[in-house]
Chain A
Amino acid sequence: MENSAYALEIRDASKRFGGIVATDHVSVKVKKRQVFGIIGPNGAGKTTLFNMITGVYSPTEGDILLDGCSIVGKLPYEIACSGVARTFQNIRLFGELSVYENVHIAYQKNMTYNLLEGILKTKKYQEEEAECAKRCKEALEDMGLWEMREHMAGNLPYGMQRRLEIVRALATSPKVLLLDEPAAGMNEEESADLAEIIKGISKKYQDITILVIDHHMDVIMRVCDEITVINFGRQLATGKPWEIQNNQEVIDAYLGVGD
């Protein structure tokens, strides 16, 4: 298949759990290298959308294309291997492992030595491990977590855990990065920092496409090139940040409609 202009394309994807419709014919086209925002009130189906993209659920209807190829029906790890990385709304770090190990494990996706080579510690093993150690150090230094590398991930302060999740996702060298409420529970200052981090990532990694779910409008409006709004599983609007800000339907969904 020829290379698509879109890094990620969701075509009419619906997900029903029994009688409940979590997402209803959602269509999204994310251009390469874009930062794309998904917003909507609680329970709107944003995380369900992410879970469909990462293969945790498969859509009841519709199709999801990564770089022009359908990824529906693939297992989560296969999708991760084809270049989708994510963070989780409720942090899921390897809690009892150190900060460094968390990143190290994620980076291992790029390693190829087999079981026997690992046990015999062949040259290939040594080279790949050395390269990995270098890259992990870089990644942790970038995000200011290098000093914390020996700490248990589960003991980190909340904001750092969020950042570590981003580092871990980036360590898999993804083409598409999904951030699920990265600013949840953060105060204004912290979420401003986060916005800078997201901008920094998109500047540093030239080929990366980022999808962000969040409630913090300031973060979303600051970092996103394009936004889609979801409410009760239905798509309300898609457009540039200023278009969304002035969209009457969106304002009604967020603030309620007066009588």
Chain B
Amino acid sequence: MEYWLGVATLVGIYMIAVLGVSILCGFTGMFSMGHAGFMAIGAYTSALLTKILPIPIFAGVLAGMLTASLVGMIISYPTLKLRDDYFIIVTLGIGEAIKLIIQNATSITGGARGLADIPKGPNVVHVWLLVVITVIVLKSFIHSRHGRNCIAVREEELAAQSVGINVFRYKMEAMVISCALCGLSGGLLGHYMHYLQPNMFTMVKSDELVIMVILGGRGSLTGSILAGLLLLPLPELLRFGGAEEWRMVLYGFLVVMVILFRPSGIMGTRELTLQDVKTFFRRLPRKSGKEARSIDRKE
């Protein structure tokens, strides 16, 4: 039981990061391959602060969030004007750079040996409470003019400008929100694991975050959550069969499947509503072919 609670906690922690990346990649349309780096910033900031200073864990996590968003903001200035593909390359570099800096600042971070004895804090309830708050805040964000402007930027940049949307500003807003959430996720991870190591924040981690957003459907919060719930527990589940190293193969396979059969992801740009769930279960016993279509949208 305790083991499964642990899995649930980890899923919740990573879920926050997935939600952050969902705002940037899914809603604003900018792909980042370096958001594990911002998780690392949040994690190490919070861990080091709470280790050195007599401050509560929640203050440390908050500081980690702020540092991650600040770094995100500074990095955004020169990079947000780049075209999509160049932005991906830059974020990839940034993510790796952050990891390498942490790895080589041995005297502060413990380098590759890792940082141990981090004050232990969040449990499964705290984490999932934060997930719920995050979802509520993000939902309001998307339904405000700020969120809608981000979506407009994703859809058609030139048209967005022509209706008076400051494209740069809204890209920045999305970037800062996603960095803050990744920082939060990283901070929680450190305090939960009790231990940090630079290899927890590799490019593979960044890719996973993006993959989940794509699988869930770009522009759907519930899609990201569904994909997260599906994929995040996977490493733990596969551990039993000793098949852990097959995880990335499975990820790759899933992505190819989605690209082939459902290019817009599980949910597309739709949100899953309570009504959808009801319809789904009502139709389930009758015909198995129809329920897929009930969620489906004309494409």
The answer to whether A109 and B163 touch across the interface, beta carbons within 8 angstroms, is: yes
- B136: nearest chain-A partner, CB-CB: A119
**What residues of chain A lie closer than 8 Å to B158, measured between beta carbons?**
56, 76, 88, 92
**Contact (Cβ within 8 A) A92 B152:** no
Cα of A80 to Cα of B163 in the assembled complex, Å: 6
For residue B273, which residues in chain A have a CB less than 8 angstroms away from its CB? none
For A80, give the chain B residue with the smallest CB separation: B164
Chain A CB within 8 A of B129 CB: no
CB atoms of B162 and A54 under 8 A apart: yes
Neighbouring B residues of A248 by C-beta, 8 Å: none
> B166 to chain A: which residues have CB within 8 Å?
75, 77
Task: Decide if A92 touches B163 in the complex (CB within 8 Å).
Answer: no
B residues 1-49 touching A (CB-CB < 8 Å): none
Q: Is there a chain B Cβ closer than 8 Å to A245's Cβ?
A: no
Which residue of the partner chain, among B146, B151, B162, B298, contacts A86 with CB atoms under 8 Å? B162
**Bound CA–CA A54/B159 (angstroms):** 11
Q: Which residues of B contact A169 (CB under 8 A)?
A: 162-163
A-B interface contact total, Cβ < 8 Å = 95
B interface bracket (residues with beta carbon within 8 Å of A): 20 to 34
How far apart are A100's CB and chain B's nearest CB, in angstroms?
Answer: 11
B143-166 interface mask toward A, CB cutoff 8 Å, 1 = contact, 0 = none? 111111101100110111111111
Residues A92 and B156 in contact, CB atoms below 8 Å apart: yes
Q: How far is the CA of A35 from the CA of B147 in the complex (A)?
A: 36
Q: CB within 8 A of B140: which of A86, A95, A97, A121?
A: A121
Chain B positions within 8 Å of A105 at CB level: 148-149, 151-152, 160, 163, 165
Q: Quick check: A81 and B164 within 8 Å, CB to CB? A: yes
Does B141 reach chain A (CB closer than 8 Å)?
A: yes
Chain B residues with CB under 8 Å of chain A are 137, 140-141, 143-149, 151-152, 155-156, 158-167, 173, 219, 269, 298
